[in-house]
Chains A and B, each alone.
Chain A
């Protein structure tokens, strides 16, 4: 797939085409109006645009889909962020008495970024990713998706590839959008297991009893650990990586292991020895805790959330279908049912999409089909994206929106049934 030929310098030339012919405005508008809960829900939503040269414009807001569309097509933002639904129109925030302008609601969001795993990846660092470390994102999605649904009861989760080195989750249930800052931070903390900054070595500490949430999460990690950590990341191969793992263990275990490791070089076997030894010690000891092998697994694989992003109601997050200016890749929805198959390197870049568009137009002309001027622009656009590799991602987005509409309809029925009873 010729995706590698994206050149950031071409972005200004490609964006107008993308926003005119490909960006799914009608689905986007359908999403953010939430079935018309209240008229102002879309109008009071903050958007912010990053323009050329990192010029950042906050507090944009729009009355209608048309207005949003026109403005985006005029400004051609390099990046679009979505903020909160405010008490007033964000575009008029300066005219409102200070203090009265307040963020009221927003999706509960999660941001997982590969740079936060730098101390536990050996394949890449910083902004780089490869298919090896992408497994960390797969694990993160599986763990959080399960917990948000089964523990917290949310149903409408939109997982999105950030376009570069991470994933975002938008929890869109009504209850999630209405959560207070305190509630958001409580949820985020419930979901955080890896704690501490650069001055902490042992970042996961487990104690008895092990909460069902942790057991469930460990279950997910276990499915990936051997292949991902032991084989791909060579967790116990080099001296440095062995040292790093052993620093998470108590002195006596560490010493014993070092002896064993002198004769055993195979990383898989080394891990086996480690778990056996830790288990043995745990069974012999009367003390509680001692789940060191589990702690290691979690420290190396458990999702690392940016809690601050999730906490704030007014925090901005990159919008789905926005382009990542560095990679040119579109922020596309991820199909959680097939999350293991998701490959960030297969996500189309804006240059690929434009190429596909051109090609299909050329085909059309060859076939002698002339653009029918009376055809509505909307329909033409649908036809446009359907010819590109964006189609399957927009279809996912549609399914997500349909599911939400379905829930809403159910609730309306329930309400009116209740009313009938009286």
Chain B
């Protein structure tokens, strides 16, 4: 695997074959050269797009009407392709061809930036998949078939007799399938490993290791192919990364891009040592978001929390500013009141607390969980108190709880409506506004520690309330909601113009 900086360029004025379909699997890296300015603009805009994909996925049910509408607007306003035909000349701005080219090139640039760590890869793949799912699903039947042909995607179908024998099972395994629709559409038979999204949701019929997928759900298999290819490609790109990193024009830019997705990093302890253990009880009722208040209460009552709870709450407390010593003292004091004696605590639990502070094991410093992580990953099960109450509590229990926290009936209705619409973070924000008696929270909630900080700002009195000039959140200037703000460009980067073939970074895939 070598990295030749090729100087010879393949001149391609326009490439109708490459961009003949509005959607691609990104099998071929771009062959043309790109100016550094364009390189940066493309990358920044795709990143904005992926950030929107991520945000929409939290605020809306994926693939619901609202979700689709918003995503379509987003694609449109950022000039990414969202139509099926190349020939609509009468639009303003970029032509469809340019959009497809941008889609292609920008995807490959972000691969460079997002192949570097496991976390980045996972984030990138997730967003690209959601984007792909949407774009594939809105294609008409004709374009879907064409897409399969172009990309040489072939799947086994089952015979008419088999369909007949399995009729009942097939009807009961997918939504919207009836006797009539079974006859009409093809069913594909693939190893269940290739249809995990359907398996996970139990939306497909399984028999001896095979999933029977109706044509209407073919997006799952295609998406699986897309994921497999993308994650392979990212792994390969990662291996050639040293060469990219030695490129002093690209390196800062790529790092910058890859940092953009995390938002504020709460593992950095600004307030370290500013909170005393005695303050935790009162703070838990005034400034903790509901998820943490619930964990705190459970811990005080049960003198124990299971693993999921310890992680979610422990990391939050670290973000709040507890030192390692305080954390050990805090957890020990509570656990020994229960069934765990001090010795057992040191043996079984102290390690994992030191671990959270990066003092054991791989020494990675764990970051407090974001709302997204709390809401989407590791849902609570029997004996657990972690998770997000807006997402994981029975609405009835949530209602009682909020009532007991003196939320007005009007506020209650608003919150429960948001919950019903699956806008958990907005519901939490509403709760914040109601409990802090402000009209508008003035921030958009995405992290329990952010909730805490904002609450402290409001309750902390005079000094801190004033909008201090905070250092911009990492990457916020790129991917923030504020779309007009021009991306920062270091003059040095700007001065350099043409850069080498993008393709050269993807050699030997």
A residues bordering B, Cβ < 8 Å?
Answer: 54, 98, 115-119, 150-154, 175, 179-180, 182-183, 185-187, 189-190, 194-202, 209-215, 304, 306-308
Does B392 contact A199, Cβ atoms closer than 8 Å?
yes
B residues bordering A, Cβ < 8 Å?
Answer: 168-169, 171-173, 175, 192-193, 196-197, 199-203, 205-210, 294, 298, 307, 344, 347-348, 362, 378-387, 389, 392-394, 396-398
Q: Out of A183, A200, A211, name the residue touching B393 (CB < 8 Å).
A: A200
26 contacts between A and B (CB under 8 A): A54-B344, A54-B348, A117-B382, A151-B207, A153-B192, A175-B193, A175-B209, A179-B193, A182-B196, A183-B193, A186-B197, A186-B199, A189-B201, A190-B200, A190-B206, A196-B392, A197-B382, A197-B392, A198-B380, A198-B382, A199-B387, A199-B392, A199-B393, A212-B169, A212-B172, A212-B205
Query: Looking across the interface, which residue of chain B has its beta carbon closest to that of A215?
Result: B172
| Residues on A with beta carbons closer than 8 Å to the beta carbon of B396 | 201
| Residues on A with beta carbons closer than 8 Å to the beta carbon of B389 | 199
Known A152-B206, A185-B200, A212-B205: A197·B383 in contact at CB below 8 Å: yes
What is the bound-complex CA distance between A121 and B389, given in angstroms?
A: 26
| Residues on A with beta carbons closer than 8 Å to the beta carbon of B384 | 197-198
Q: Tell me how far the C-beta of A203 lies from the nearest C-beta in chain B, rounded to whole angstroms.
A: 8
What is the bound-complex CA distance between A213 and B386, given in angstroms?
A: 29
Known A198-B298, A199-B294, A213-B206: A189·B200 in contact at CB below 8 Å: yes
What is the bound-complex CA distance between A306 and B394, given in angstroms?
A: 21
Q: Tell me how far the C-beta of B341 lies from the nearest C-beta in chain A, rounded to whole angstroms.
A: 12
Given contacts A152-B206, A189-B201, A213-B202, could you give 7 more A-B pairs where the C-beta distance is less than 8 Å?
A197-B384, A198-B380, A199-B294, A200-B394, A212-B169, A212-B172, A213-B206
| Residues on B with beta carbons closer than 8 Å to the beta carbon of A308 | 307, 378
Q: Report the 3 A-B pairs with minimum CB-CB distance, sorted nearest first.
A: A153-B209, A197-B380, A153-B208
What is the bound-complex CA distance between A54 and B383, given in angstroms?
A: 24
Does B385 contact A116, Cβ atoms closer than 8 Å?
no
What is the bound-complex CA distance between A190 and B168, given in angstroms?
A: 19
Does A190 contact B294, Cβ atoms closer than 8 Å?
no
Query: Looking across the interface, which residue of chain B has its beta carbon closest to that of A201?
Result: B394
Query: Looking across the interface, which residue of chain A has its beta carbon closest to that of B172?
Result: A209
Known A190-B202, A213-B202: A304·B381 in contact at CB below 8 Å: yes
Does A199 contact B380, Cβ atoms closer than 8 Å?
yes
Q: Tell me how far the C-beta of A39 lies from the nearest C-beta in chain B, rounded to whole angstroms.
A: 26
Q: Tell me how far the C-beta of B21 lies from the nearest C-beta in chain A, rounded to whole angstroms.
A: 28
Query: Looking across the interface, which residue of chain B has its beta carbon closest to that of A119?
Result: B382
| Residues on B with beta carbons closer than 8 Å to the beta carbon of A150 | 207-208
Does B382 contact A304, Cβ atoms closer than 8 Å?
yes
What is the bound-complex CA distance between A179 and B196, given in angstroms?
A: 11
Query: Looking across the interface, which residue of chain A has its beta carbon closest to that of B208?
Result: A153
With most chain A CB atoms within 10 A of its CB, the pick from B193, B384, B389, B396 is B193
Query: Looking across the interface, which residue of chain A has its beta carbon closest to that of B203?
Result: A211
Q: Tell me how far the C-beta of B492 lies from the nearest C-beta in chain A, rounded to whole angstroms.
A: 32
Q: Out of A182, A212, A215, A307, name the residue touching B381 (CB < 8 Å).
A: A307
| Residues on B with beta carbons closer than 8 Å to the beta carbon of A179 | 193
What is the bound-complex CA distance between A410 and B294, given in angstroms?
A: 56
Does A211 contact B202, Cβ atoms closer than 8 Å?
yes
Q: Tell me how far the C-beta of A220 lies from the nearest C-beta in chain B, rounded to whole angstroms.
A: 17
Does A202 contact B394, Cβ atoms closer than 8 Å?
yes
Does A197 contact B387, Cβ atoms closer than 8 Å?
yes
Does A198 contact B385, Cβ atoms closer than 8 Å?
yes
What is the bound-complex CA distance between A182 and B193, given in angstroms?
A: 9
| Residues on B with beta carbons closer than 8 Å to the beta carbon of A307 | 381
Q: Tell me how far the C-beta of B289 lies from the nearest C-beta in chain A, rounded to whole angstroms.
A: 15
Q: Tell me how far the C-beta of A146 lies from the nearest C-beta in chain B, rounded to whole angstroms.
A: 12
Does B381 contact A196, Cβ atoms closer than 8 Å?
yes
Q: Tell me how far the C-beta of A60 lies from the nearest C-beta in chain B, rounded to whole angstroms.
A: 18
What is the bound-complex CA distance between A98 and B363, given in angstroms?
A: 11
Does A186 contact B200, Cβ atoms closer than 8 Å?
yes
What is the bound-complex CA distance between A175 and B209, given in angstroms?
A: 10
Does A187 contact B199, Cβ atoms closer than 8 Å?
yes
Query: Looking across the interface, which residue of chain A has its beta carbon closest to that of B307?
Result: A308
Query: Looking across the interface, which residue of chain B has its beta carbon closest to that of A207?
Result: B175
What is the bound-complex CA distance between A117 and B382, given in angstroms?
A: 8
Q: Tell me how far the C-beta of A95 lies from the nearest C-beta in chain B, rounded to whole angstroms.
A: 15
What is the bound-complex CA distance between A215 and B382, given in angstroms?
A: 24
| Residues on B with beta carbons closer than 8 Å to the beta carbon of A213 | 202, 206
Query: Looking across the interface, which residue of chain A has its beta carbon closest to that of B171?
Result: A209
What is the bound-complex CA distance between A151 and B386, given in angstroms?
A: 32
| Residues on B with beta carbons closer than 8 Å to the beta carbon of A197 | 379-387, 392
| Residues on B with beta carbons closer than 8 Å to the beta carbon of A187 | 199
Does A116 contact B173, Cβ atoms closer than 8 Å?
no
What is the bound-complex CA distance between A215 and B397, given in angstroms?
A: 30
What is the bound-complex CA distance between A201 and B398, given in angstroms?
A: 11
What is the bound-complex CA distance between A153 and B207, given in angstroms?
A: 7
What is the bound-complex CA distance between A196 and B387, given in angstroms?
A: 10
Known A182-B196, A185-B200: A199·B382 in contact at CB below 8 Å: no
Does A211 contact B380, Cβ atoms closer than 8 Å?
no
Query: Looking across the interface, which residue of chain A has its beta carbon closest to that of B389?
Result: A199
